[in-house]
Structures are given as C-alpha cells and as structure tokens.
Amino acid sequence: MLRLVPPQQLHEVWGWVRNGLIVAAKRGGGHHLPEDVYGAIKAGVSHLFAVESKGDDVGFIVFQRLADADGPVLFVFALWLEPEAGRPIEQAMYAAVERKAREIGAVRIRMQSAREGWKRRPFFVPVATIYEYEVK
C-alpha cells in the first residue's frame, strides 16, 4: 500500500509527483512550491511514499517527523490521490498511515489543510483553527 521512494529515485517520479502537488495546491492553498517539497525530500527532512493499488501507483504521501511535548508526530505534509482511484482504497490507506505512525513511535498523526472536505473523512478530526495574517 505505501512504498518508500528513496531520495535517489525521486527524479524518476518527480513529474508525476509535481503534477499532483500542483493540483493539491490549487484546491487547498499553501505557501510552498513543488520544488520546496523536492528539496525537503532530497535533504531527508521529508519522505515520499507512493500509494499503491493493484500494482499501480495511484497517489503519494509526503511525511515529516515532528516533535510535540508528549512525543513524535507523523505529519502529513502532502497527500494526493488520483480522483477515481482514491476512494476505493481510502480506508486501507489510512490504516497504512497509522501503521507508519506506529513504526516511528508517533503519538499522533497530524495534517493541515484549508479544505473543509477533510471534516467529512472518517480519519482526521479537526482540533484547531489556524488564523494567519500576511505581513505586508
């Protein structure tokens, strides 16, 4: 379900990942460029996992390991699934993400998105509203 893409192989899948990041950014905003994600993966700050279904890559997740006062956090930095392929595997993907969190000893999984639709998903629960002011 989740397959690590080593940083050395990032160039091979980058066109597809970059396109997914652009689609996701158009839907949910964000302040980073796809190239920022590329740099974070190459630097080892973020880790790219392909989401597989029936032998095909149908999406990807970019994780970061963060630290809260009570322990490690698996932060979902970016998540993209092909629209038609994502729904049937959604629950299995969440289970795989939870297994990944357990592997690193995470006390929680965190994701941040401006998209209201995540409230309707049966996995992430909203816990805070983030307010920002752009300094001019």
* pLDDT one-digit tens code per residue, 98-136: 999 999 999 999 988 767 767 777 787 888 777 666 778
Classify residue 136: in a domain, yes or no. Answer: no
For the stretch 69-93, pLDDT in tens is 999 999 999 999 998 888 899 899 9
Classify residue 125: in a domain, yes or no. Answer: no
- How would you classify residue 48: left for phi > 0, otherwise alpha for psi between -120 and 50, otherwise beta? beta
Classify residue 113: in a domain, yes or no. Answer: yes
Domain of residue 60, CATH code:
3.40.630.30
> Domain of 86?
2-120
Classify residue 34: in a domain, yes or no. Answer: yes
For the stretch 99-108, pLDDT in tens is 999 999 999 9
Classify residue 127: in a domain, yes or no. Answer: no
Could you tell me what percentage of the chain is helix, strand and coil, using 3-state DSSP and rounding each to the nearest 5? 40, 30, 30
Classify residue 63: in a domain, yes or no. Answer: yes
pTM recorded for the entire structure = 0.87
Domain count, the chain: 1
Classify residue 126: in a domain, yes or no. Answer: no
